[in-house]
Structure 1
Amino acid sequence: MSESTMPSVNAEFGATPAIEFPTETAPAGLKSVEIVEGDGPVVRKGDTVTVNYHGVVWGKQTPFDSSFERHQPASFGIGVGQVIKGWDQTVPGHNVGSRLVVSIPPEYGYGSRGVPQAGIGGGDTLVFVIDIISTR
């Protein structure tokens, strides 16, 4: 996979993400790039992870959901089906302190129905910037 197909994001842990899209078309499949490598403990499946995240539909700037904008990190079980598959498959294995950018096609996100009230269509690829704050 070429990094150039993925959005570029400011490599500053904790800063509100600024996302630039290289193309109008999202890459196929689930893609994840570690922008900042943390030096904290590794997140494992079954952990409760605390993150800040910023989610946009591919090609759009306005987030459909952003804990950065709420100034309120989110905590949940990872790798156990509490969040969308794209998160369960990409967050474990990264260290606390890492910033990830993840491109999530519908089959790893909200499926063919999307989430219309959030402006997510059934064919939309989602992009999340995820800062891993802690894990336990």
Structure 2
Amino acid sequence: MNNETIDTFRQQLFTLARTLKIDPLVPENQVSDRVALSFRKLLNFLAQHGEISLAGLLAYPAAAEAQATLAEIMQENLADAQQGGVFRQDISVILLGKFFTGMLLQLAQTPAEPALRHQQSLAATRLFCEGAGQQPD
């Protein structure tokens, strides 16, 4: 796999990621749907590009740089929503971007069929939006 192929893949991934902004005016009952859609679109894109995804984000010598860029894009996507009160203010938007990207990269390492990717995106969204703690009764 050549550097040009990986660079093209990354540019397409970053372009897609930039389209996944969450409007700060999104109704509260739609936030989870928007986050899940972001996870699902990115997971589907990564699955469609198989080996290139793994090389471009995990194994390639400059993978750390690509991961950092993706986290920065997600940070930018989440910043307006956080300022608009959609996401908690007590967690830095830098960490939110890294958390989102970290979950995405972990899920992308295991190939999955579309139905499983959908379920994974819902689970990642619950974890991202609600946390892993027990919900009060």
Is TM > 0.5 for Structure 1 vs Structure 2? no
Larger Rg: 2
TM-score, structure 2 as length reference = 0.31
Structure with a larger share of its residues in helix: 2
TM-score, structure 1 as length reference = 0.31
Structure with a larger share of its residues in strand: 1
